[in-house]
Structure 1
């Protein structure tokens, strides 16, 4: 079985919500969500980026938002900024959940590419501690605290604004060129991430913000879970110009499995087969090359394709890639090797 190293999942929210049942949720599963240890083993998912994400304190009319996403075109308003005092306790709870998984002996929090390889060789899930939205960071000193805990990947925004930058709204069809770029604090955060060798994730960041990161950063550019705007014109996807910037930096894009960011018509209905995913992969490969494309599922945070309902089904996607004409070496690059290579270039080791 070809292993998979994945660019993004939101499992930690489920672990926190499970409370006292978190250990059982991981070890046995409960029939919900996309991730648990048995399904990871079954699907060959050897590791990935485990995201800390802060939900909106007031999510509004969730059913109405879902209805609009299911019926494009749509252009949803951005939620308001969340302050660090509200975000920090939730971020610590999710980090604690990941540390608890490490104590179980089934997972390792990895701080170098060598540690990822060692965890995979030992049969443990190799986890990168990632933050999706910098709301928990009150200042740059806090970044150093999180780095000491194990943070090695940071997205400045989850769509809504932060003290560091502005994200794209959820809109279809829409370009990602929406709103202002990084704030002054955001530009300082780029420099500090470079100094600490923390990966900066461009996913969710708007186009002006991405341009500023590209101008200021000396590290490979990375989008952990995004798609090709030329195939699906969602605001969350990357234009060819942005893809070329990432390619020029020696960076990587992980393909998001969210159906609304894959389907050319922007609909979230769980489609059958893998044609939309293969169209994105073909397009990404055409610009980024064989070393620049990876997977970034968004498991436990998005609507999945009908034939890829959870991590156990990952071999179906890899088989579809092989049937599409990708050689085994290319499939291995996309499935896991490219993530290991870019972490080595970003962190050293």
Structure 2
């Protein structure tokens, strides 16, 4: 079975809140949520990037509006709780491990365990002067999204808006440039998902490492502000980076509608567009399991096999499918972590 690396999930949030999908280690016959250990093993998921995420204390009435920034002290506390949960899973079973370097990732690709890469979605937990970045690294941080779809001290996110451009708002702040440099120095992946266009181009002009967008769709197919324009895709390819194709239907469907009512072909259209524009070597998977509505034809993590089968039916070779399934993520993570 071809192993899979998935570039983004929100399962940690489900495990530390009252959302469905919190029982990651339970072998439930009728599990909640999109992802747990039993189903990950069934699907051949070798590793996933597990996001620590800090929700707003109240949800916006209109998702096309940017939610307000969150307070740093609260964000740091919630991220610490979610990272502790990740380590508790690894302590509880040898079927799961926290990934800290490329050797850990390779062991998971070899089938030793399912692995989790600790990630923060939105850098609000980081002090603006970066004084706690090293301690976050020591607790496992290996990938950092500069923003979620709201502002923070470092950058500006995009709203969840359809028929809109990602070219919304200013670029990185002075602290944002410092954060990007500090992450590159330490080997913490800088993830550009949810970042506005100005911030994207600021990072593209700053780092020597491959550009990474963990979960997004193609703006040419679904013109959401969250999705990447062809010009952005060109920049990712030129850097040797990758885009993890989101499974979130609101960013896959050309009409921007939420819900599970979207065929697998909708997702495959985006993967195919990425491959045609950038080359297969820059395309990966970034499901957003437990963080978005995924197509009913995928259903949950076990549907990853159906995605690979769908790519085969569209003429992607075995080498292509292996690159998309795990090879491209492995290459890019190794470049950042080294």
The interval holding the TM-score normalised by the smaller chain is over 0.9
Deviation at 1:2, TM superposition (A): 1.8
After superposition, residues 190-209 of structure 1 pair within 5 angstroms as 190-209=180-199
Deviation at 1:277, TM superposition (A): 1.4
Check whether the contact 1:18–1:25 (CA below 8 A) recurs between aligned residues: no
SS class of match (1:28) = coil
Cross-structure match for 1:256: 246
1:304-330 deviation digits (Å, cap 9, x = unpaired):
101111011211111111111111111
The two structures have a TM-score, normalised by structure 2, of 0.95
Deviation at 1:101, TM superposition (A): 1.1
Report which structure shows greater RCO (CA 8 Å, sep ≥6).
1
Cα 1:212–1:326 shift into 2, 3 Å: same
After superposition, residues 16-165 of structure 1 pair within 5 angstroms as 16-17=16-17, 25-29=24-28, 31-61=31-61, 65=62, 76-104=64-92, 105-138=94-127, 139-165=129-155
Deviation at 1:16, TM superposition (A): 1.4
Query: How many residues were matched structurally?
Result: 334
Cα 1:272–1:135 shift into 2, 3 Å: closer
Work out which of the residue numbers 204, 217, 226 in structure 2 matches 1:214: 204
Cross-structure match for 1:285: 275
Structure 1 unaligned runs (5+)? Answer: 66-74
Q: Which has the higher helix share?
A: 1
Residue 222 of structure 2 is aligned to residue 232 of structure 1: yes
Deviation at 1:248, TM superposition (A): 0.7
Check whether the contact 1:153–1:198 (CA below 8 A) recurs between aligned residues: yes
Cα 1:57–1:269 shift into 2, 3 Å: closer
Cross-structure match for 2:168: 178
What RMSD, in angstroms, separates the aligned Cα atoms of the two structures? 1.6
The two structures have a TM-score, normalised by structure 1, of 0.92
Check whether the contact 2:145–2:191 (CA below 8 A) recurs between aligned residues: yes
1:26-45 deviation digits (Å, cap 9, x = unpaired):
23246210011111112111
